[in-house]
Chains A and B, each alone.
Chain A
């Protein structure tokens, strides 16, 4: 029984056919790394999974909530799908704690007191229990990104989408964010991440998906795929990024 099931998904930006029929099954607890060149459609695919991009054709089902050809209950879908962005996107006028509390109180109608408990628990989980009252501009990039992860987790999503979440960070801050993601993975969180951290994808992921020209070009166990790419495109890509 798959948690996320995508079938025959097509997406156009105007006349540009970005996703050309994606089929993907994600099981509970899967940690999926989406890799590929810029423009291959990996971020677009990720963003369709919580409705940030509309779907022109095809079906998306997340834990029983379905979109047929892009139509369905988007808000129900989004309550099941958390998302962490490259640019953190914290709300600058709210403290770290308030950032985490906002959606549970506003969307789920949880009381302020209970939401605060959730927020403290989530901030503790990402190692920032002492930053509850800090504003985003008082935090480092790595800390902001961990707050963003806590904010997504506070909605208790079934699956967490990570869109190049370390790409905007200074190199020395990458590991603290990856450590949090690794922890989530070992706790059984279902993760789909677009990443350029190939070593991380190999070590933490249980499935690697290589996208090329809007299609899943090659996929499988990350270690096997990296060690033995079956297509010249992936071999080329792995060769280009491996050393970096």
Chain B
């Protein structure tokens, strides 16, 4: 790990990652041992590793898997679900499974087609549905906090994209913790300071079986393009990604980044259909998409 000027053997590496995770949870005040955590698991390396780490650290962490109905010729969703259920079974963990098609009548790719969102890619609809359902389920099942497996590369890529657009609203919102509010579950990212490569190494060394195949719709995506660009930078300047992200967090914390208006929550109101907070004037984006999908079928 050139960015840390640190080399560890397998056993010490498998100790170091959970120790550092515990440190980040405390540093960013993500949650306490008494709180109930819902981990969003996709069958990928990061989310399964997060679930593994939180369990090893003794937290009360249950899993949530959302069936998206993505096939892509490789049975992608089916295989992701199988690996997630296998992990839960082998580790005696509680897993909630929700299938979007069973719940709302259509899979994510079909919803995307019907709603004409995302310029031919289902990623926008997928993200919207995930945010909506993860928040709804976390609240309905009484969890204190929703944890996702975002790593530093995810965070740096989002920050890079937002910086290229100078999207101040999005930049100011980004961080290891998205505080809860009326109708909104607190969201945390305990892995946000680990490189994607570190999390892959953890999963391999720990023997976690994860879905290696990329989502069929992710190929050529902007996020992957940004990650590749940042990795070029990292190769030439070890530690560049870490400095970029931590520098941002420091600047944001100091208040010197932008003048924060903090008006966001004042503009939210409950969606008349699902009751979740939205800034849209009437139905939230998700319910509008479902209504349109239902009316067109």
Q: Do A and B bind each other?
A: no
Q: Which residues of A contact B (CB under 8 A)?
A: none
